């Protein structure tokens, strides 16, 4: 049996019972679903068993399961956004505080694991900021961003073999040619400029894509499919970063696909 968590069924049950006022039928399958979901949101087996002795308490159990999933998801998502903001400013102490606040109140194991992973990543990036030493277990571009922050704080960029390898690996993802990369790697100043080009291209591409997605969604929802398509065509007309080109192409293909039959 897979241990992978999928809350689609419990969420659907909650929608039907709690939002559409459909009766909760405590079949063997529903009992098993409630017991499994209760365990996944850190409700004890005894508490869940007691709740399943009657419909009112079973409904309360369902409501509590949904609330823990909803609250944990919102809390973690908000924390991740705040951590990203603080990390971009180089405020790792503030980012640590945000995640520790989540861990102080979060009970759902899945969300706790995500927060702990994020805390480990932040710890590693903070070490890169302090020492300038790269960590092979961390995301490439995040480490480049931290090195850029280190330079802004007055530290010289040390053009090590590890950094050369990282830049050679990352440059193509920003549509920078091998020739440009090798020329830049001839000096620390060139490597620093290369690093900034990589980061700048991704920042601009992300901003352009998200803005276009917002406009595309609004146009699509208003029925202007051609206008929505044009938003993605406009992105593709100027975008050079492969990741964001692929994302725009996927959105355009989705708009070109026939709507699902009702």
* Domain edges within the chain: 8-127, 132-256
What are the phi and psi torsion angles at 91 (to 5°)?
A: -90, 80
Q: Is this structure's pTM higher than 0.85?
A: no
Residue pointed to by tokens 């994302």: 247
Question: What's the pLDDT at 197?
Answer: 97
Q: Which stretches within the chain are classed as H helix?
A: 8-14, 28-40, 45-51, 55-88, 92-105, 109-131, 140-152, 161-170, 178-184, 188-221, 225-238, 242-256
Question: What's the pLDDT at 191?
Answer: 96
pLDDT tens, per residue, the chain with 262 residues: 345 789 999 999 999 999 999 999 999 999 999 999 999 999 999 999 999 999 999 999 999 999 999 999 999 999 999 999 999 888 999 999 999 999 999 999 999 999 999 999 999 999 999 999 999 999 999 999 999 999 999 999 999 999 999 999 999 999 999 999 999 999 999 999 999 999 999 999 999 999 999 999 999 999 999 999 999 999 999 999 999 999 999 999 998 876 555 4
């Amino acid at each position: 049996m897979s241990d992978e968590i999928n809350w689609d069924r419990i969420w659907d049950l909650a929608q039907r019972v709690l939002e559409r006022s459909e009766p909760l039928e405590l079949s063997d399958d529903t009992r098993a679903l409630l017991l499994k979901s209760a365990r996944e949101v850190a409700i004890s087996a005894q508490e869940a068993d007691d709740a399943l002795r009657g419909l009112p308490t079973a409904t309360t159990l369902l409501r509590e399961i949904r609330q823990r999933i909803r609250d944990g998801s919102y809390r973690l998502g908000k924390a991740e956004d705040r951590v990203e903001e603080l990390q971009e400013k180089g405020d790792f102490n503030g980012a640590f505080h945000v995640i520790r606040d989540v861990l102080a109140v979060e009970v759902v194991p899945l969300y706790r694991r995500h927060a702990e992973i994020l805390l480990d990543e932040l710890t590693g990036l903070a070490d890169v900021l302090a020492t300038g030493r790269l960590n092979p277990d961390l995301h490439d571009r995040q480490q480049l961003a931290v090195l850029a922050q280190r330079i802004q704080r007055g530290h010289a960029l040390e053009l090590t073999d590890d950094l050369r390898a990282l830049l050679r690996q990352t440059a193509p993802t920003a549509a920078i040619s091998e020739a440009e990369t090798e020329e830049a790697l001839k000096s620390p100043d060139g490597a620093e400029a290369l690093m900034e080009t990589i980061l700048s291209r991704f920042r601009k591409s992300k901003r352009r894509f998200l803005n276009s997605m917002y406009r595309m969604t609004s146009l699509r929802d208003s029925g202007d499919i051609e206008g929505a398509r044009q938003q993605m065509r406009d992105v593709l007309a100027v975008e050079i970063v492969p990741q964001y080109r692929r994302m725009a192409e996927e959105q355009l293909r989705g708009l070109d696909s026939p709507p699902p039959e009702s």
